[in-house]
Amino acid sequence: MRHLGIVGECNVQYALDTDSEDYRVIEVNARLSRSSALASKATGYPLAFVAAKLGLGYGLFDLKNSVTKTTSAFFEPSLDYIVVKIPRWDLGKFSGVTKEIGSSMKSVGEIMSIGRTFEEAIQKGLRMIGQGMHGFVENKELKIDDIDKALNEPTDERIFVISKAFRVGYTVDQIHDLTKIDKWFLHKLYNILETAQKIEALPPLDVDLSKSENSNFDLLLRIAKKQGFSDFQIARAVWKEEMPDDGSDKIRAYRKSLNIVPVVKQIDTLAAEYPAQTNYLYLTYNGSENDVQYVGDKRSVIVLGSGAYRIGSSVEFDWCSVNALKTVREEGYRSVMINYNPETVSTDYDMCDRLYFDELTFERVMDIVELENPHGVILSVGGQIPNNLAVRLDDYDVTILGTQADKIDNAENRHKFSSMLDELEIDQPRWKELTSLSDIESFVDVVGYPVLVRPSYVLSGAAMNVCSNYDELKNFLQLAADISSKYPVVVSEFVENAKEIEFDAVADRGEIVTYAISEHVEFAGVHSGDATIQFPPQRLYVETARKVKKVARKIAKALEITGPFNIQFLAKENKIRVIECNLRASRSIPFVSKVLKINFIDLATKVMLGLEVEKPSKNAFDLDYVGIKASQFSFSRLQKADPVLGVDMASTGEVGCLGDTFDEALLTSMLSVGYTIPKKNVLFSTGPAKSKAELLESAKLLHSKGFNLFATGGSQKFLKNNGVPATLVYWPSENKSPNTLELLQDKKIDMVVNIPKNLSVSELKNGYMIRRTSIDFNIPLITNTRLARAFIEAFCNMDVDDIEIKSWDEFH
């Protein structure tokens, strides 16, 4: 670093051979790195802040340590705790994707867990990544054909394979030989397994929770809690397959009777050598007293964050959480945040009065609620994780600010919600609850394929699927039932060629305070998180918008909504139907707040605190500009995944762009997510007859602007018959030239429009090969008819140089 003359942030990566302790430098980045946010949060030493000051010419002696407020920034951080970072992968969402992880990054987020022992921190972390696991042990059984192979080739599930390998008798040395993971880690993981096996081996007489003590079990219980076991894991180890529904509640009550409770520790940068001034906290069982004094004055408001970034829950919920914290503070309450994602602003320790960098599980939230004795808890700004805790927190008499738990359950539970719509005489796609396969078959006989399978309490369409035939239906029903065995799965009719409309709003005791109606560019069938959204809507009938408002008012009243909510509608020939209602902040609330310049979350938080708010004036919806939200995909990182969009969300980010016209906003947004405007050659492979017809005008437009069209068999014939010249190219499976793959690999095509034949997974191999090759060779690919039309019209009608560059303030 001295040789390179680096001032400020720097990241150096090393490779270390643990046997000889020989090391090599891999690379140096003279900038902030992905791990610098983690290092800042892990140590409480704000690297970017200090680096910026150094860049301005300050010296380390001039700067105060922002945690101790007394020592200078010259002191190196020293810790009395252990931090574990675990990435979050979402590979299960993609068909055909390779699960191996290597030198190309595939994770979509990460978590950071804090504990006093490695065992405690790793178990906390494995719960935090939100992949349905309870820690290192006591998880659902993994089915692995070849354990040696699974240990040898790293995948997103390898740590759970290690747990299974220990169970079936592998030794630390054998696992080390296969994984090359340092034995220190493997010995620590083995400690966890040993404790689990000791609890599992206890005879029932040694675990009688009606007694005041059970000496053998009590000792193991203390060890287990110090090793990061949750109450659920302990309950499962005790009762195994016979575990009662309230098993973890029983363990909780019993350990509290023995005064086995966590203590709150403060993060400081100098291992408690100097007093820390910030309320940056974590909970641990490896300690004897709290570092914080609790007054229990009911002036705290706890905001639950959104956890690990994942497909479907990312910065949008962090934006909502941060805005809620700001408003809570401004209104004179003590703002308290629970979250564990080092990448978020909501986990900056100066963002709130108390930050608990800890789990968002029922057990941990209850531990904190009991310590804080708050005015109330806000669930509706952190996405799906907090919403899923509503009913259990309510059972324990926790004050929920905003919409109440029974109403949240009425909206999340597919059966209850659909029944409520029927009672209110609000139109929805025909539906049936999954009771047996034969019932569903008779339902499908009436409505016909395709149908939509929808589990309850999910985010980003997890396990939601459109099924075009019986085999798919059977397959997905099983998957949906696995996701949520406690809550109903509903199968509903899938309405084709319908517009999708988003209604984002804030309500106060069932009365709508402010709202925004936005419209998807794509037809329904593309998940709202993947769709291109226009706001205000540009192609919506006034009558449709009026009907949407009327139905939304009915639903808000029936669910007595207080706070933010989102309803999704289908519109076809002026007839509207409700798809679903989320009683929480939605993915599109930050987007509409920024386009409208009305902060929905600020209003929602005031409403949830019981304050009177003024309704924004009606004319705010009279906008002279258009906002477009476009999605960012990472298919190039996901080898072999089929880059086709459906009802299960696939995008890993988004952009919001403004323009004076729809074309300008769309063009800016498409360029922002990495599309390039084709120079001369466009390939059409347009699937079913309907999409061929819909894209005819776009093809004519391209031809008139001097583009060369290439098309596969049916598409070429259709274009030629309709007076548009196109060069015939052969399918990948046909060994004839010119072949689509050759043209793509030789970079002779500038853009590909490929519309899949149907919605099934087994969509023709040829289509998959064209799509995958386009992605692998970095050629812009569009797989949706409506988006292809909009994009082609935009770049044909407008030159990129004509896009006006304006700041956000200039749009009025």
pLDDT tens, position by position, 517-539: 999 999 988 888 899 999 999 98
Q: Whole-structure pTM over 0.85, yes or no?
A: yes
Render pLDDT for 203-250 as a digit per residue (tens, 0 to 9).
999 999 999 999 999 999 999 999 999 999 999 999 999 999 999 999
Predicted local confidence at residue 475, as pLDDT = 76
User: Does the pLDDT value for residue 53 go beyond 80?
Assistant: yes
Render pLDDT for 317-343 as a digit per residue (tens, 0 to 9).
999 999 999 999 999 999 999 999 998
Render pLDDT for 244-272 as a digit per residue (tens, 0 to 9).
999 999 999 999 999 999 999 988 766 66
User: Does the pLDDT value for residue 488 go beyond 70?
Assistant: no
CA–CA distances in Å: residue 374 to residues 278, 285, 296, 371, 398: 19, 23, 7, 9, 9
User: Does the pLDDT value for residue 758 go beyond 70?
Assistant: no
- Mean pLDDT (whole number) for 635-644: 86
d(C-alpha 765, C-alpha 733), whole Å: 8
Closest CA to 227 of 359, 111, 137: 137
User: Does the pLDDT value for residue 684 go beyond 70?
Assistant: yes
Render pLDDT for 786-811 as a digit per residue (tens, 0 to 9).
999 999 999 999 999 999 999 988 88
Q: Which of 118-132, 270-284, 616-630 has the lowest mean pLDDT?
A: 270-284
Q: Give the number of other CB atoms < 10 A from CB of residue 438.
A: 8
User: Does the pLDDT value for residue 463 go beyond 60?
Assistant: no
Pull the structure tokens for residue 601. 């979350």
d(C-alpha 703, C-alpha 709), whole Å: 7
Predicted local confidence at residue 5, as pLDDT = 87
User: Does the pLDDT value for residue 113 go beyond 90?
Assistant: yes
User: Does the pLDDT value for residue 461 go beyond 70?
Assistant: no
Predicted local confidence at residue 277, as pLDDT = 67
- Mean pLDDT (whole number) for 385-407: 95
Pull the structure tokens for residue 396. 């324990």
Predicted local confidence at residue 761, as pLDDT = 47
- Mean pLDDT (whole number) for 574-587: 92
**Model confidence band, residue 763 (pLDDT cutoffs 50, 70, 90):** very low
**Model confidence band, residue 647 (pLDDT cutoffs 50, 70, 90):** confident
d(C-alpha 378, C-alpha 676), whole Å: 42
User: Does the pLDDT value for residue 456 go beyond 80?
Assistant: no
**Model confidence band, residue 274 (pLDDT cutoffs 50, 70, 90):** low
Q: How many CA atoms lie within 13 A of 778 on its CB side?
A: 3
- Mean pLDDT (whole number) for 281-295: 93
Estimate to the nearest angstrom the gap between the alpha carbon of 782 and the chain centroid. 23
User: Does the pLDDT value for residue 613 go beyond 50?
Assistant: yes
User: Does the pLDDT value for residue 757 go beyond 80?
Assistant: no
User: Does the pLDDT value for residue 483 go beyond 60?
Assistant: no
Q: Which of 86-95, 387-396, 476-485, 673-682 has the lowest mean pLDDT?
A: 476-485
d(C-alpha 716, C-alpha 718), whole Å: 5
Cβ 630 vs Cβ 673: under 8 Å:
yes
Output DSSP code: residue 310: B
User: Does the pLDDT value for residue 783 go beyond 90?
Assistant: yes
Percent of the chain with pLDDT strictly greater than 70:
94
Paired sense of beta strands 653-659 and 11-17, if any: unpaired
Q: Which residue has the tokens 């509608």?
A: 569
Cβ 279 vs Cβ 349: under 8 Å:
yes
Phi and psi at residue 132, in whole multiples of 5°?
Answer: 80, 15
- Mean pLDDT (whole number) for 481-486: 58
User: Does the pLDDT value for residue 173 go beyond 60?
Assistant: yes
Predicted local confidence at residue 527, as pLDDT = 85
Predicted local confidence at residue 426, as pLDDT = 96
- Mean pLDDT (whole number) for 108-127: 96
Please tell me which of 347-351, 455-459, 506-510 the model is most confident about, judged by mean pLDDT: 506-510
Task: Please give the single-letter amino acid code of residue 721.
Answer: N
User: Does the pLDDT value for residue 704 go beyond 60?
Assistant: yes
User: Does the pLDDT value for residue 762 go beyond 50?
Assistant: no
Q: What is the mean pLDDT of the chain?
A: 90
**Model confidence band, residue 47 (pLDDT cutoffs 50, 70, 90):** confident
Pull the structure tokens for residue 103. 């030198």
User: Does the pLDDT value for residue 590 go beyond 90?
Assistant: yes
d(C-alpha 358, C-alpha 228), whole Å: 12
Predicted local confidence at residue 485, as pLDDT = 55
Estimate to the nearest angstrom the gap between the alpha carbon of 474 and the chain centroid. 27
Long-range CB pairs of 98-105 (<8 Å, 24+ gap) are: 98/638, 98/639, 98/640, 99/155, 99/156, 99/157, 100/153, 100/154, 100/155, 101/154, 101/155, 101/156, 102/154, 104/637, 105/637
